[in-house]
Amino acid sequence: MNADQLSKAFAGLVLAVAVPSSVAAQSAPNINVTGEIEVEVLHSDGSDETFLFGDIDLSFGPAAGAGGLGFDLGVLAIDSDGIGSESAIFAAATYTTSYGKFSFGVPRNAASAFSRMPDLGGIKLVSLQQDAFTGGVVELMYLTNDDVPVGLRYDADYGAIKAATSYHRLSDSEATVFDLAASFEMGKFFTNGSVEIVKPQGTSSQSAVHAEIGASTDLYEAGIGYTIGSNVIPDAFMAWATYRPVQKLDISATVLDIDGTDALYGLSGTYAFWNSAYVQAGVADSSGIDAVWDLSLGYKF
């Protein structure tokens, strides 16, 4: 997708978000928008780069508590001078029942929605690599290789327990990917995990297992995680802690230790304003690379 197409995709979603609720209510029983748009300025070893990031989901479906047909649309897109423009479009027909939600077409993979680890150093460019260890490889392969993941997904919500499973076949590589993910919350404690089985064309299946555990309150959140990558990705340990000294300010420390490489450390501060807008400053560093400093402006839906 070229830069013009990317801009149009963003514009369409932003317009959908901006539609007054009274108009939206007339077009569909239930419309839900989630996601994030961010502009970040990165500085490292005397060089600067501007990085644009967007990850938005727009869901049309039956009213809360009802069943029926719906449609999900999502866009994951990036743009920078060094990387260029890349985007991944997710689109799926959905059917909601009392047993859960079924999605058919190009849905997101199940593991992508369960990790609670913050972006390392608050840097979206780093988080794209981080997500392969916490949320599976499907989105990264689609974004960077245009390997469209056609398949299906099932989501179930049992209150404290949430679960999802998905199956995709990648259009170019013809690899198949199966995900199973779940989360559980009890009071301030949480745990989540996922299994991803990747079967490249003509070879045997390879699997990756990820798990997290931690605690969260209005004042703080802290957690640890581990990924056993087998032959899909390297093993990795991760940990994070977020402190909220005031309601609108989050200060986060993160670490990602990938087997065979120097550990990455991150520190970031995020201040929210105008309800969903935020400004953020952060840094990611390692003994093997120069520090990357970040100043960002973003908006969460």
State whether residue 139 is helix, strand or coil: helix
Strand bridging mode 236-246 / 264-273: unpaired
Domain boundaries, the chain: 3-300
- 124-134 vs 138-145: helix axis angle to the nearest 10? 130
Rounded to the nearest integer, the mean pLDDT of the chain is: 90
pLDDT in tens, 242-251: 999 998 999 9
Whole-angstrom Cα distance, residue 79 to residue 49? 11
231 SS3 class = coil
3-class DSSP state of 1: coil
Element holding 258 (H helix, E strand) = strand 249-258
3-300: what fold?
Answer: Porin (2.40.160)
The answer to whether the beta carbons of residues 227 and 233 sit under 8 Å apart is yes
pLDDT tens sequence across 125-160: 999 989 999 999 999 999 999 999 999 999 999 999
Q: What would the pLDDT profile of 82-98 be if each residue is shown by its tens digit?
A: 888 999 999 999 999 99
pLDDT for 29: 67
The strand ranges marked E within 159-248 are 161-170, 176-186, 189-199, 206-216, 220-228, 236-246
Q: What ranges in the chain are assigned the alpha helix state H?
A: 3-18, 21-27, 124-134, 138-145
pLDDT at position 64: 75
pTM of the full structure: 0.85
pLDDT at 293 over 90: yes
Write out pLDDT tens, residues 18-75: 444 333 334 446 899 999 999 999 999 889 999 999 999 999 998 877 889 999 999 9
